[in-house]
Amino acid sequence: MSIHIIQSRDHILNTYSESISKYAEERFNREGVNVVVNARVKAVYPDRVEYEQRGPDGKKILYSIPSNFVLWSTGIAMNPFTQRVSDLLPNQVHKKAIEVDAHLRVKGAPLGTVYAVGDASTLETSVVSHLLELVDEADKNKDGRIDFEEWEVMATRIRKKFPMTDQHIAKLRDLFNAYDKDKDGSLGLNELVVLLEELGNKITALPATAQVASQQGKYLGTKLSRLAKQQRILAANDIAIDDDATYFKPFKYRHLGSLAYIGNAAVFDLGGSSFMGGLAAMYAWRSVYWSEQVSMRTRALLMIDWCIRGIWGRDLSKL
C-alpha cells in the first residue's frame, strides 16, 4: 500500500507555523508517505488521480497516480439553504458564505431578525463601504474633512463596527500622520478612502473552524438570553430591541490556538509558541479534543472508540 498527499501550496499545514509544517513533512517522509507540494489535481478517476506540477523549465507536467481510495479535503461549499438566503438578500457579495456584521446579523435583513454563525457566515471586512456613515458621525463641523479629534471619534466607531481592527489602529496619531499626505492637519475624503481600504485589507476573515463556530454560538446564545430577560426593561426605556448595539457588545473572536493530529503524533500552534511531538503530544491533543465535546454522551462514545481502537485497531473493512 502507498499513500500520497497532494498539496497545492509549497507546504502542508500551511496555516500553521513553518516549523510545524516541516515537522509534519519530515514525519510523513519517515513513515513512507509521499508528500507532493505545489501541485494541483486535474481529475479523479475510479482507478487513478491526475495532477499537474511545474517542471524545472516552468512548464506544467501531467502526472498520474494509481488509486482505489481518494480522500478529498480541499474546502467547503455553501449549503443550498445558505446559498438561497444569500441570493435573496441585498448587500450579499461574498461567494462562499453569508456576510454578517460584528453582531452576527445578516447583512440585508432587518436588524435583529436573522443571524448566521459558523461555516455559513463570514464577518464583513470592507471598512471603506461605511465611509460616508463614518464621516457623517465624526465630522462635527461638517466641512468634509476629518481633523485629529474627529479621527479619534471615527476610530472608536470603527472599533465597534469592526472589532478585528483593534490591533491595526492602536497608534492613532501615527496612522493619522501617515495618511495626511498634504500635511494640513486633516484627512480629506480621498485620503480616508485609501486609509480605510488598506485597513480593510489587513483584516483577515475568520477560519471555518469549530473554534470560531463555538465562540459565535455562545456569544449569540448569551445575547438572545439577555434580550429575553431585559426586553420589558428595554421597551420601558424606549431602547430599540432590534438594534443589538444598544444593549450588547459586538462579537470578538479570541484565538485559542490550532491543533493537528498526525498519526501517533500531534502539533500545537498557540500563536506565539508551538509544540510538537509523538505520543505525549498525541495524548495532549486527545485530552483537549475530549474536553471540548458538547456532552458527556459524546465524551463517553469517543473514549470507548479510542479504547476499542487501542486494543483491536481500526476496522478498515468499513472504509
Residue 248: which pLDDT band, with cuts at 50, 70 and 90?
Answer: confident
**pLDDT for 314 beyond 80:** no
Residue 127 burial by CB count (10 A; 0-12/13-18/19+): exposed, middle or buried?
A: buried
Average pLDDT over residues 104-133: 90
Average pLDDT over residues 53-81: 87
Residue 319 confidence (pLDDT)? 58
Tens of pLDDT, residue by residue over 154-212, are: 998 898 888 888 888 888 888 899 898 888 888 888 889 999 988 888 887 888 888 89
Residue 218 confidence (pLDDT)? 94
Share of the chain above pLDDT 90, in %: 30
For strands 4-6 and 34-36, give the pairing.
Answer: parallel
- Candidate from 141-150, 200-209, 235-244, 261-270 with smallest mean pLDDT: 235-244
229 vs 301: which has the higher pLDDT? 301
Domain boundaries, the chain: 4-66, 80-202, 210-246, 258-318
Tens of pLDDT, residue by residue over 199-216, are: 888 887 888 888 899 999
Residue 34 confidence (pLDDT)? 93
Q: Is the dihedral of CA 88, 92, 94, 99 positive or negative?
A: negative
Residue 272: CB atoms within 10 A of its CB come to 7
Residue 169 confidence (pLDDT)? 85
Per CATH, the homologous superfamily of domain 80-202 is: EF-hand (1.10.238.10)
Question: Are the C-beta atoms of 125 and 205 separated by less than 8 Å?
Answer: yes
Residue 271 confidence (pLDDT)? 67
CA distance 266 to 133: 47
Residue 144 confidence (pLDDT)? 84
Residue 294: which pLDDT band, with cuts at 50, 70 and 90?
Answer: confident
**Options 1.20.1050.10, 3.30.420.40, 3.50.50.60, 3.40.50.300; which CATH number does 4-66 get?**
3.50.50.60
User: For residue 277, what are the β-bridge partners?
Assistant: 266
Question: Are the C-beta atoms of 29 and 59 separated by less than 8 Å?
Answer: no
Residue 225 confidence (pLDDT)? 92
CA distance 312 to 319: 16
Average pLDDT over residues 19-44: 90
Angle of helix 172-179 relative to helix 189-202, nearest 10 degrees? 130
Tens of pLDDT, residue by residue over 222-245, are: 999 988 888 888 778 777 777 787
**pLDDT for 254 beyond 70:** yes
**pLDDT for 50 beyond 90:** yes
Tens of pLDDT, residue by residue over 80-104, are: 999 999 999 988 888 889 999 999 9
Question: Same topology for domains 4-66 and 80-202, yes or no?
Answer: no
240 vs 68: which has the higher pLDDT? 68
The per-residue pLDDT of the chain, averaged, comes to 87
CA distance 11 to 9: 6
Question: Are the C-beta atoms of 175 and 152 separated by less than 8 Å?
Answer: no
